[in-house]
Structure 1
């Protein structure tokens, strides 16, 4: 009887040890699979970063060959949006790059929505960049005004000026379904409308390229 108990005890100990060993193997396998998945994600992320860096360098190289006015339009775009406007843009899609047409090169006359030759030249080069990259992008055009005039008038004015840019881009070969306009009127100034110089800065059209 004691022998039976002894052998039974050995069997229980053996089975317990086997269970621990199997659990240990299963845990190691689970950990290894988890690490493999993590390594794969890291590799994909590194590849994505490298691809984005490559795109940025290619884009910068293209910009460096553009006219001085167009390079300035790209450079000013970083400060041409208010914080609220920038947040709204990022919520809608991935912002690739943008340009700003300031009052300096737009030169809209009173009650006129025709683009100046300077603005048209900048947009021509902008279209060349977009077409050369050959990507399925979406272009959003924001019209802004200063605070001169009523809010309603400024909202309409911003819309008409954004539409004039949209029309020009369409005429230059950008598909209409990839173009949209938003008028902010006087609601998103980048500086206070407290001087002639500041009001000029707030009169602008921002063109954003989203992915």
Structure 2
């Protein structure tokens, strides 16, 4: 009988040891799965952050598109081109000449006299000298100079926007004629 007890004890120990090995194996497997789940959760969090940023960018783009649509709904009334015939901007410059100021003063007076609900898009252009990025900046500087001057003449800032086309839209004329600002009046 004592041999059977020993045998049962040995078999019980083997069963217990087998059970412990199974627990270790399960714990290793569960640990590996938990590591994978944690990694997936981190990736999901990163994707959520990127998605939020993309959604915000899309909302901003939609808002800009809606503003452009509202502007485009305005009817074209007329435009005023300020270029070589009235003293263009000097090469690389955005300072208004006296001729520009006189024409802008007339435009401001006309807008105030008409007392219309007009909106002005002020477009700045350059010739092809200089870099593309520099010309965009210069075109915007020219448009902003006109916008500031019209504001000083009593035209409301919220009724004007400025945009640069830089060197992208050239006339068939000389480089001097391409150094210009166009004021588009929309109703």
Residue of structure 1 equivalent to 2:154: 173
Residue of structure 2 equivalent to 1:200: 176
Contact map agreement 1:106 1:115 (CA 8 A) in 2: no
SS at match of 2:104: helix
Whole-Å separation in 1 of the counterparts to 2:93 and 2:132: 18
Whole-Å separation in 2 of the counterparts to 1:98 and 1:141: 10
Deviation per residue, 1:11-39 (Å, 9 max, x gap) = xxxxxxxxxxxxxxxxxxxxxxxxxxxxx
Over the aligned positions, Cα root-mean-square deviation in angstroms equals: 1.9
* Shift in CA distance, 169/92, structure 1 to aligned 2, threshold 3 Å: same
Q: What TM-score, normalized by structure 2, do the two folds share? A: 0.59
Contact map agreement 1:162 1:183 (CA 8 A) in 2: yes
Deviation per residue, 1:69-109 (Å, 9 max, x gap) = xxxxxxxxxxxxxxxxxxx9x94521101101003424323
Whole-Å separation in 2 of the counterparts to 1:103 and 1:173: 26
SS at match of 2:89: coil
Aligned length: 118
Match for 1:109 among 90, 98, 116? 90
Match for 1:147 among 122, 125, 128? 128
Residue of structure 2 equivalent to 1:82: none
User: Which range moves more in the overlay, 201-210 or 178-187?
Assistant: 201-210
* Shift in CA distance, 108/159, structure 1 to aligned 2, threshold 3 Å: same
Contact map agreement 1:123 1:169 (CA 8 A) in 2: yes
Shift of 1:114: 1.8
* Ranges of 4+ aligned residues in structure 1 off by more than 4 Å: none
| Matched ranges for 1:87-166 at <5 A | 91-166=72-147
Q: What TM-score, normalized by structure 1, do the two folds share? A: 0.52
Structure 1, unpaired ranges of 5+:
1-87, 192-196
Structure 2, unpaired ranges of 5+:
1-68
